[in-house]
């Protein structure tokens, strides 16, 4: 059976909206995929400011933004379909939304982008609110991508996604675990912004700086890192805790970037240690925008060398759009009424079939 779906992903780094059109085929219990089209629509200054400031709004204005952003997403899907000649080819749309509040300890998570609005604009079936049921069952609601990693990328023992937040998935014969490691691009982009840059291209800033040993020790001592998994991070840990600590020393942006690259690499290695001894020759697939940061990848490779883990960097389309691809698969799994979230990853009471379904077309 083949399903044709569009997956939407807006990450915490606020670089834009990722869209993927994919054909997902289920045969004899195994899944395969092909990507027919992909794009990233950067946010303009207005949308960047509105999304970044969403948690400061009143309840009324927050809900108005939720509706507005849903219509924005619907219009983006229309544009994507037009630009790629996908008329009458899309079976459903799966939207992650843009995470604002994430408080799994209080069984609450919130993603902007009203699924009803997307369905009304596109006239297509839409799956949204992908994390909510897992959180209601006591789970972290994150990471959400591991179900797609398990089904679409067999053969890897480790998956590291370097997005706004870095998260690690570990695939062992007896279980599948995953958790958020540390803030990543969200903090690195803030440092690059001090130089008027949207990001540190290939890690050149970090490569030209010198790590601050005392600051690195302070970062590595933050309480979150000692917590056992399952665990997850909200965006404000990077913006309100980590970044101010980085800037408290007054060091040059290059030194701050170099220090933070060393911190990410150290926490990736510590996260691997937390999950148990790696089998010799284990493979790690690294995706997300950070996979294009040469300084960061070199630091991670060096940190993982004592563990005997080999790093694989896939083609650019998988690097940049794996999460949007995962949303498409999660939407299809929800449509099939199959589990979309792994409780072994999130710590929920059980696996769950999460996601709200909005039927946009006429009966």
**What pLDDT does 345 receive?**
86
> Torsion-angle region of residue 203: left (phi > 0), alpha (psi -120 to 50) or beta?
left
The span from the CA of 289 to the CA of 298, in Å, is 15
pLDDT digits (tens, 9 = 90+) for 286-303: 998 899 999 999 999 999
pLDDT digits (tens, 9 = 90+) for 128-142: 999 999 999 999 998
86: buried, middle or exposed (CB in 10 Å: 19+, 13-18, 0-12)? middle
pLDDT digits (tens, 9 = 90+) for 47-99: 999 999 999 999 999 999 999 999 999 999 999 999 999 999 999 999 999 99
pTM for the structure as a whole: 0.83
Q: Which residues of 45-58 are buried (b: 16+ CB within 10 A; e: fewer)?
A: eebeebbeebeeee
Indicate the DSSP class of residue 362.
Answer: -
**What pLDDT does 236 receive?**
87
- Sheet containing 310-312, strands listed edge to edge, beginning at the edge strand earlier in sequence: 175-183, 165-172, 158-162, 283-287, 310-312
The span from the CA of 94 to the CA of 355, in Å, is 9
Spatial CA neighbour of 95 closest among 1, 183, 18, 3: 18
Specify whether domain 2-140+327-358 bears CATH 3.30.420.40.
Answer: yes
The span from the CA of 6 to the CA of 321, in Å, is 12
The region of weakest confidence among 31-45, 230-244, 317-331 is 230-244
Q: Would the pLDDT of 120 be above 80?
A: yes
Per the structure block, which two tokens stand in for 189?
């982009």
The span from the CA of 92 to the CA of 72, in Å, is 17
Q: Report the percent of the chain where pLDDT is more than 90.
A: 85
Task: Give the chain's mean pLDDT.
Answer: 94
Q: Would the pLDDT of 363 be above 80?
A: no
Domain regions of the chain by residue span: 2-140+327-358, 158-308
The region of weakest confidence among 249-253, 274-278, 355-359 is 274-278
Name the CATH topology of 158-308: Nucleotidyltransferase; domain 5 (3.30.420)
Q: Would the pLDDT of 224 be above 90?
A: yes
175 by DSSP, 3-state: which?
A: strand
β-pair partners for 98: 112
Q: Which residues, in sequence order, are CB contacts of 242 under 8 Å at separation 6+? A: 182, 183, 187, 219, 222, 260
The span from the CA of 363 to the CA of 358, in Å, is 12
**What pLDDT does 142 receive?**
81
**What pLDDT does 255 receive?**
97
**What pLDDT does 13 receive?**
72
Contact yes or no for 327/119 (Cβ under 8 A): no
- Residue 184 has φ and ψ, to the nearest 5°, of -130, -100
pLDDT tier at 282, thresholds 50, 70, 90: very high
Contact yes or no for 129/140 (Cβ under 8 A): no
Whether omega for the bond prior to residue 143 falls within 30 degrees of 0, making it cis, is yes
Tell me, yes or no, if the two domains 2-140+327-358 and 158-308 fold the same way: yes
* Beta-strand relationship, 126-128 and 92-95: parallel
Spatial CA neighbour of 186 closest among 226, 143, 232, 237: 237
**What pLDDT does 279 receive?**
83
pLDDT tier at 193, thresholds 50, 70, 90: very high
pLDDT tier at 177, thresholds 50, 70, 90: confident
Q: Give the mean model confidence (pLDDT) for residues 109-117.
A: 97
DSSP for 34-90 reads: EEEEEEEE---HHHHHHHHTGGGS-HHHHHHHHHHHHHHHHHHHHHHHHHHT-TTT-
């Amino acid at each position: 059976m083949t399903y044709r779906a569009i997956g939407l992903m807006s990450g915490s780094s606020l670089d834009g909206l990722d869209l993927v059109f994919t054909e997902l085929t289920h045969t004899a219990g195994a899944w395969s995929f092909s990507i027919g089209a992909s794009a990233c629509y950067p946010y303009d200054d207005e949308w960047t400011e509105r999304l970044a400031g969403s948690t400061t709004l009143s309840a009324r204005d927050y809900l108005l933004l939720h509706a507005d952003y849903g219509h924005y997403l619907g219009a983006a899907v229309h544009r994507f379909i037009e630009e790629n000649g996908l008329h009458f080819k899309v079976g459903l749309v799966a939207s992650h939304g843009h995470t604002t509040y994430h408080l799994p300890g209080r069984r609450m998570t919130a993603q902007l982008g009203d699924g009803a609005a997307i369905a009304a604009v596109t006239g297509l079936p839409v799956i949204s609110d992908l994390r909510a049921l897992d959180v209601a069952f006591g789970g972290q609601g994150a990471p959400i991508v591991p179900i797609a990693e398990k089904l679409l990328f067999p053969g890897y023992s480790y998956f590291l996604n370097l997005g706004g937040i870095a998260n690690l998935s570990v695939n062992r014969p007896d279980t599948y675990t995953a958790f958020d490691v540390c803030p990543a691009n969200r903090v690195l982009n803030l440092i690059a912004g001090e130089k008027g840059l949207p990001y540190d291209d290939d890690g050149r800033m970090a490569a030209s700086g010198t790590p601050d040993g005392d600051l690195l020790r302070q970062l590595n001592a933050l309480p979150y890192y000692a917590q056992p998994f399952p665990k997850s991070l909200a965006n404000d840990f990077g913006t309100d805790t980590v970044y101010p600590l980085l800037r408290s020393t007054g060091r040059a942006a290059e030194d701050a970037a170099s220090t933070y690259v060393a911190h990410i690499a150290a926490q990736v290695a510590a996260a691997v240690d937390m999950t148990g001894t790696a089998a010799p020759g284990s493979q790690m697939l690294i995706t997300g925008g950070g996979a294009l940061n040469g300084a960061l990848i070199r630091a991670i490779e060096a940190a993982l060398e004592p563990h005997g883990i080999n790093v694989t960097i896939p083609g650019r389309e998988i690097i940049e759009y794996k999460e949007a691809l995962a949303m498409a698969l999660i939407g299809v799994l929800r449509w099939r009424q199959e589990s979309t979230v792994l409780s072994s990853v999130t710590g929920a009471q059980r696996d769950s079939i999460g996601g709200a379904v909005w039927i946009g077309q006429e009966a």
